[in-house]
């Protein structure tokens, strides 16, 4: 099959990582796969004026023009053919068997493409109401595209909120990049969390827990990573700006606990990556986490929004070294059983083949 993915822009995100992995796995199975992005990123605000986003579009467009964005190691290491075109239209997107929208902003131009561009699919990885005009976000899910979701949460959301059916395919960490062959439990306990610009990630919740833990257990060491520093990170926390995948892996491996305070999201890949690196996860039972982690067996989970419950999960792991070891190792075994790319690609490929019959 010839398969074209349409992405909103080339950015190092968890959603883009999933797109690249699907594309690479499909190439490995003999399919002709390409990515397409518009030279000027789609406008998520639609009829709203946002000066800072205009600046973002200009910067991104200049990056595409000079090849800077595609040269990032995150993309350069991929086998996927990456294309930047002026617009996502009939003229610039070649005919194919399948064309896949990967965001609400790309759902509209994909829907407008003629049928010869392929069967139209919408890969929904989140309810993208953040930093967007929600009216158009919601309307995108009503476009007559075949919808694939990545968690039970998203599948239920599309059905209950929009009356739209979808095929659920759980995705997976890339175990070639996230692994730990020598887990150690000696030395001071390290706690890791992530900084992010989106409010649903609830970084403030993680910071509140971190401050309490430092006051109560002053010997604890803290690390934080993110593409940039979006919050006031305490001085006792070492911040790692825009780390590579290998640097993130080393952080997971060196840490005893990964705090995941996200209130909601489409899947939630960082906890799965942490588990793959034998780092115990303390988080909220949100997104797909209940589908790949079992509370008190392979992770410690609190109900979404229960800040005291999440603090209790972290503290219990600090106080009980045996529990910490058990959760770390069980989490590794559990996530490897529940999530794997071969199974995900089997399901994804079968859906696409069924559409072109």
| 76-to-3, 82, 167, 341 alpha-carbon distances in Å | 20, 9, 31, 21
Whether 2-172+340-356 shares its CATH topology with 190-338 is answered yes
Taking only the tens place, the pLDDT of each residue in 182-195 is 999 988 999 999 99
Taking only the tens place, the pLDDT of each residue in 114-143 is 999 999 999 999 999 888 899 999 999 999
- Predicted pLDDT at 296: 97
Pairing of strands 190-194, 257-260: parallel
Taking only the tens place, the pLDDT of each residue in 256-270 is 999 999 999 899 999
- Predicted pLDDT at 287: 87
pLDDT value at 17 more than 70: yes
Q: Among candidates 179, 100, 181, 101, which has minimal Cα distance to 137?
A: 101
Domain spans of the chain? Answer: 2-172+340-356, 190-338
pLDDT value at 313 more than 90: yes
What fold characterizes domain 2-172+340-356?
Rossmann fold (3.40.50)
Taking only the tens place, the pLDDT of each residue in 31-81 is 999 999 998 888 777 766 667 566 666 666 666 655 655 556 667 667 888
Q: Does domain 190-338 have CATH number 3.20.19.10?
A: no
User: Rounded distance, CA 217 to CA 79, Å?
Assistant: 46
Mean pLDDT taken over the chain: 92
Higher-confidence residue: 58 or 287? 287
What are the φ/ψ torsions at residue 3 (nearest 5 degrees)?
Answer: -125, 130
| HEC-encoded secondary structure of 2-48 | EEEEECCCCCCCHHHHHHHHHHHHHHHCCCEEEEEEECCCCCCCCCC
pTM for this prediction: 0.90
């Amino acid at each position: 099959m010839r398969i074209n993915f349409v992405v909103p822009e080339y950015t190092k995100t968890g959603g883009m990582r999933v797109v690249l992995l699907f594309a690479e796995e499909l190439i490995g199975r003999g399919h002709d796969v390409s990515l397409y992005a518009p030279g000027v990123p789609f406008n998520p605000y639609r009829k709203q004026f946002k000066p800072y986003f205009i600046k973002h579009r200009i910067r991104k467009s200049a990056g595409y023009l000079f090849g800077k964005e595609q040269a990032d190691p995150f993309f350069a290491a991929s086998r996927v053919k990456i294309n930047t075109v002026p617009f996502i239209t009939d003229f610039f997107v070649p005919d194919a068997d399948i064309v896949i929208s990967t965001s609400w902003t790309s759902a509209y131009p994909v829907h407008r493409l003629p049928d010869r561009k392929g069967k139209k699919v919408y890969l929904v990885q989140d309810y993208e109401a953040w930093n967007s005009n929600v009216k158009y976000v919601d309307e995108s899910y009503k476009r007559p595209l075949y919808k694939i979701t990545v968690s039970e949460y998203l599948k239920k959301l599309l059905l209950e909120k929009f009356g739209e059916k979808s095929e659920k395919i759980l995705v997976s960490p890339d175990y070639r990049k996230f692994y730990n062959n020598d887990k150690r439990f000696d030395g001071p306990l390290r706690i890791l969390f992530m900084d992010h610009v989106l409010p649903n990630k609830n970084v403030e919740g993680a910071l509140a827990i971190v401050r309490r833990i430092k006051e109560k257990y002053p010997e604890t060491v803290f690390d934080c990573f993110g593409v940039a520093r979006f919050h006031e990170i305490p001085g006792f926390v070492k911040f790692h700006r825009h780390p590579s995948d290998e640097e993130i892996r080393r952080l997971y491996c060196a840490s005893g606990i990964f705090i995941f305070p996200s209130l909601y999201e489409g899947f939630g890949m960082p906890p799965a990556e942490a588990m793959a690196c034998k780092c115990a996860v303390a988080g909220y039972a949100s997104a797909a986490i209940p589908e790949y982690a079992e509370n008190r067996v392979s992770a410690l989970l609190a109900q979404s929004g229960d800040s005291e419950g999440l603090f209790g999960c972290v503290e219990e792991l600090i106080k009980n070294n045996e529990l910490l070891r058990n959760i770390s190792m069980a989490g590794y075994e559990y996530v490897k059983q529940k999530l794997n790319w071969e199974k995900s690609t089997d399901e994804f490929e079968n859906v696409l083949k069924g559409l072109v019959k």
